[in-house]
């Protein structure tokens, strides 16, 4: 067989193998009752689950960019993990903004039911343009009783991007959330993931921000200890180079009712 034809056949074989693996994993998820799809499909096929959770964790009157997002959102990921299901393989989504002078308003909605566990990885990027782009996405995370979620995200936008993303999580009794975040791009970022902790729940927040020339990254977190016996651990690092600006901004609220926090 000529070399060119061998390479062609090898490519077909590799593609076929990858498709088989993809369908195998997808079927395995379906067999466990896990739903992993895009938001538009979720609205059509699972309307009751979406209606119960959509824009409930992040209310539309939170701030003006959330209101804009609620009005024009499109795209995004929907993940539902049923009670007691523990996923060993991470699920992953990637968003890319490909047009100049445009906005991206994807919505990510993740529900981890009682006793379930999930690791979700999300990546964001955009090519470099001379015109300013806007990213005003929204992430809503629900961690139910005794559940676990690790949410890992890398935002590597180009330096023409205004990144005004909103992320929020509610954690019920004995639940745990791990935020793993990397902010490496954009002209301006304002991003403060917000977590509300219930009784005996835990938050681990690990983040790194890198600002180069012409970048202003204003990042941090917000936490409310809304129950007893809960804990928050924050490990955040910032790097500035060539005049880049990094600001760390946090608000960790432990009210009187949060005994032994």
Which residues make beta-bridge pairs with 247?
Answer: 218
Mean pLDDT score, 180-205:
95
User: What whole-number distance in Å separates Cα of residue 226 and Cα of residue 257?
Assistant: 8
Phi, psi angle pair for 70, to nearest 5°: -60, -30
Residue 99: pLDDT over 70: no
Instruction: Count other Cβ atoms within 10 Å, centred on residue 260.
Output: 8
* pLDDT (average), residues 208-224: 95
Q: Is the pLDDT of residue 130 over 50?
A: yes
Residues near 258 by beta carbon (within 8 Å), at least 6 away in sequence: 225, 226, 227, 228, 230
Comparing 41-55, 98-112, 214-228, which segment has the lowest mean pLDDT?
98-112
Nearest in space to 95 (alpha carbons), one of 143, 142, 39, 55:
39
pTM score of the predicted model: 0.88
Residue 11 has pLDDT above 50, yes or no: no
Mean pLDDT across the chain, nearest whole number? Answer: 88
Which runs of consecutive H residues, i.e. helices, occur in the chain? 3-31, 39-45, 47-53, 64-72
Going by pLDDT thresholds of 50, 70 and 90, the confidence category of residue 216 is very high
């Amino acid at each position: 067989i000529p070399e060119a034809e061998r390479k062609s056949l090898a490519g077909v074989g590799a593609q076929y193998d990858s498709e088989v693996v993809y369908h195998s994993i997808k079927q395995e998820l379906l067999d466990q009752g896990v739903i992993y799809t895009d938001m538009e499909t979720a609205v059509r096929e699972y309307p009751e689950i979406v209606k119960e959770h959509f824009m409930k964790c992040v209310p539309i009157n939170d701030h003006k960019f959330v209101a804009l997002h609620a009005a024009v959102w499109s795209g995004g990921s929907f993940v539902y993990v049923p009670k007691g299901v523990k996923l060993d393989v991470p699920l992953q989504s990637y968003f890319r903004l490909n047009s100049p002078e445009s906005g991206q308003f994807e919505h990510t909605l993740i529900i981890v039911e009682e006793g379930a566990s999930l690791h979700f990885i999300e990546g964001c990027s955009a090519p470099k343009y001379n015109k300013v782009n806007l990213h005003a996405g929204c992430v809503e995370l629900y961690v139910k009783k005794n559940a676990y979620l690790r949410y890992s995200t890398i935002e590597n936008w180009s330096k023409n991007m205004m990144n005004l993303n909103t992320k929020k999580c509610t954690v019920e009794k004995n639940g745990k959330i791990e935020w793993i975040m990397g902010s490496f791009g954009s002209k301006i970022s304002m991003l403060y993931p917000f977590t509300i902790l219930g009784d005996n729940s835990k938050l681990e927040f690990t983040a790194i921000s890198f600002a180069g020339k012409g970048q202003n990254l204003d990042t941090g977190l917000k936490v409310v200890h809304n129950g007893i016996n809960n804990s928050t651990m924050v490990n955040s690092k910032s790097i500035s180079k060539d005049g880049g600006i990094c600001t760390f901004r946090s608000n960790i609220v432990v009210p009187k009712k949060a005994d032994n926090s």
